[in-house]
A and B are shown apart, each in its own frame.
Chain A
Amino acid sequence: MSFTPPSDPRKPKNVKVSQLCELCHARKALIKRPKNLQKVCKLCFFHVFETEIHNTIVCNKLFENGEKVAVGASGGKDSTVLAYLLKLLNERHGYGIEIVLLSIDEGIVGYRDDSLATVKRNKEQYNLPLAIVSYRELYDWTMDEIVACAGVRNSCTYCGVFRRQALDRGAAKLGIKHVVTGHNADDMAETVLMNILRGDVARLEKSTAIMTQSSGSPIKRSKPFKYAYQKEIVLYAHYKKLDYFSTECTYAPEAFRGTARELMKNLEALRPSCIIDIIYSGESLRLRPKKAKRAPPVNHIEIRSDGSVSLPPQGFVDGNRCERCGYLSSNTICKACMLLEGLQQNRAKMSIDHDTSVNGAARLTRTLEKLTF
């Protein structure tokens, strides 16, 4: 697959005064900015869009001089524009950061292999180093295998949990303490909306933070596109003719998020500022401080899904580590290890044509597959 840039239209002949850019008053306006309905031309749009991202970065003190930063690169529009812009702004404003592209290979044939090809082209186009970590090397399972074992319906649960860890581990491997992701304003608003609809109060407060860092974790995450509209990101990529990958994941997208997204898009059509307004509402929400959690009794025993038991060595505090892999977790075993255990023991749904009646059959099959004589 190669990249074909969008076509350039021929030069417009005559421009009416009412069609002029509201910033430079010299060129024809091409865009109506969803944020404030201002009509701007291509060059002014580049300028305001880049400046706004720069301001977000500076005001929130996202970067430190000399910092090494990993861009979570999927090959999609957001991360492609992010990588391009960070390189541009870093050179223009002298942030003094070192940028590395970090991609996760979930192992989805027909989707991720194509998008990784895009990231590899981006590596050449922007002259940035690229590192790829795969689910296969981290967890010994690819997403295709997980779906074959656990069914399509749960795919996003597995993939989401694993990817979050994979980005951290990939960054740790490269000695990087800061991962930036291309989450945009639409994503943020969507998340706020979803947390409200689900009544997930605990996540609601945290979900709008531009930078997150758990105590005890050496890796922080930030979202420089927090206030950037998806529409503007796509337009920026279009006008700059950036090479990005755009295909929906092979496995069904998360149904609930899809519905929330549709609702957002319909709201945006009626009132474009609502995206930024929802983020603002999310930011302004202050929850009443919770009463201190009752600590489990001193001789509390946790019973795991496989029947084994553990005595928690310390209280449930932020910064706990998983007993198995050492990753940050609020429980004794992290979510990823729990899911992996379920997979290996074949507790998850599996088709009948593979004989799975024996406990641990999946793991055994996988071990046998690798045997050579």
Chain B
Amino acid sequence: MVNVKVEFLGGLDVIFEKQRTHKLSVPSKDGDEVSVGTLIDYIVENMIKNTSDKDVFIENNTVRPGILTLINDTDWELEGEKDYILEDGDIVSFTSTLHGG
């Protein structure tokens, strides 16, 4: 179990009941460590109310290209992407870059 803050920015909040910031307690699947991959599964399973909205967030089992994922303001590419182990108080943000400018 880990307590993290998740943010949906750049218009992504529309599929999360228009709420940008969510405080989550994510249960671990096996053992006690919770990775970002587990967090993403948790979001998809529990937070997206409308099933057709899942494709907006996820593609081929990972965050859709065009959505920027930051772990504590660091590009998740530099943190091992889905393998990053979350700690209490971490902030994970998802920002869509796909809408018009």
Q: What is the CB-to-nearest-CB distance from B36 to chain A, in angstroms, rounded to a whole number? A: 14
Docked CA distance A9–B14 (Å): 23
Q: Does A78 sit within 8 A of B, measured CB to CB?
A: yes
When distances are taken between beta carbons in the complex, the residues of chain A under 8 Å from B100 are 74, 76, 248-249, 253
Q: What is the CB-to-nearest-CB distance from A139 to chain B, in angstroms, rounded to a whole number? A: 21
Contact assessment for B101 and A184 in the assembled complex, using a CB-CB cutoff below 8 Å: yes
Contact (A247, B74) CB under 8 Å given A6-B7, A74-B101, A234-B95: no
Contact assessment for A7 and B65 in the assembled complex, using a CB-CB cutoff below 8 Å: no
Convert A115-129 into 0s and 1s, putting 1 for each residue whose CB lies closer than 8 angstroms to a CB of B: 000000000000000
Docked CA distance A171–B54 (Å): 42
* Chain B residue nearest to A257 in the complex (CB): B100
When distances are taken between beta carbons in the complex, the residues of chain A under 8 Å from B90 are 9
Contact assessment for B11 and A246 in the assembled complex, using a CB-CB cutoff below 8 Å: yes
Q: Does A339 sit within 8 A of B, measured CB to CB?
A: no
Q: Does B9 sit within 8 A of A, measured CB to CB?
A: yes
Convert A19-51 into 0s and 1s, putting 1 for each residue whose CB lies closer than 8 angstroms to a CB of B: 100000000111110000001001000000000
* Chain B residue nearest to A230 in the complex (CB): B97
When distances are taken between beta carbons in the complex, the residues of chain A under 8 Å from B77 are 32
Contact assessment for B9 and A238 in the assembled complex, using a CB-CB cutoff below 8 Å: yes
Interface size range on A against B:
35 or more
Docked CA distance A184–B44 (Å): 31
Q: What is the CB-to-nearest-CB distance from B61 to chain A, in angstroms, rounded to a whole number? A: 14
Name the one of A39, A74, A231 contacting B97, with C-beta atoms under 8 angstroms.
Answer: A231
Contact assessment for B78 and A39 in the assembled complex, using a CB-CB cutoff below 8 Å: yes
Q: Does B5 sit within 8 A of A, measured CB to CB?
A: yes
Docked CA distance A78–B101 (Å): 5
Docked CA distance A273–B78 (Å): 18
Docked CA distance A74–B89 (Å): 35
When distances are taken between beta carbons in the complex, the residues of chain A under 8 Å from B99 are 76, 246-248
* Chain B residue nearest to A82 in the complex (CB): B101
Q: Does A260 sit within 8 A of B, measured CB to CB?
A: no
Contact assessment for B72 and A265 in the assembled complex, using a CB-CB cutoff below 8 Å: no
Docked CA distance A214–B36 (Å): 52
Docked CA distance A277–B64 (Å): 22
Contact assessment for A239 and B101 in the assembled complex, using a CB-CB cutoff below 8 Å: no
> Which residues 69-90 of B have a CB within 8 angstroms of A?
70, 72-75, 77-78, 89-90
Docked CA distance A19–B72 (Å): 14
When distances are taken between beta carbons in the complex, the residues of chain A under 8 Å from B72 are 9-10, 12
> Which residues 215-271 of A have a CB within 8 angstroms of B?
230-231, 233-235, 238-239, 246-249, 253, 261, 265-266, 268-269
Name the one of A4, A31, A268 contacting B75, with C-beta atoms under 8 angstroms.
Answer: A31
Q: Does B38 sit within 8 A of A, measured CB to CB?
A: no
Q: What is the CB-to-nearest-CB distance from A221 to chain B, in angstroms, rounded to a whole number? A: 15
Contact assessment for B78 and A235 in the assembled complex, using a CB-CB cutoff below 8 Å: no
Q: What is the CB-to-nearest-CB distance from B39 to chain A, in angstroms, rounded to a whole number? A: 15
Docked CA distance A43–B92 (Å): 21
Q: What is the CB-to-nearest-CB distance from B16 to chain A, in angstroms, rounded to a whole number? A: 14
Docked CA distance A6–B93 (Å): 9
Contact assessment for B5 and A7 in the assembled complex, using a CB-CB cutoff below 8 Å: yes
When distances are taken between beta carbons in the complex, the residues of chain B under 8 Å from A182 are 101
User: Told that A6-B9, A247-B99 touch, could you supply 6 new A-B pairs with CB distance under 8 A?
Assistant: A7-B91, A74-B100, A76-B100, A79-B101, A234-B97, A246-B11
The 12 sampled A-B contact pairs (Cβ below 8 Å) are A7-B91, A8-B73, A19-B78, A30-B75, A31-B78, A235-B68, A238-B70, A239-B73, A246-B10, A247-B11, A248-B100, A265-B66
- The 7 A-B pairs with the shortest beta carbon distances in the complex, nearest first, are A78-B101, A9-B72, A246-B11, A76-B101, A265-B65, A269-B65, A265-B66
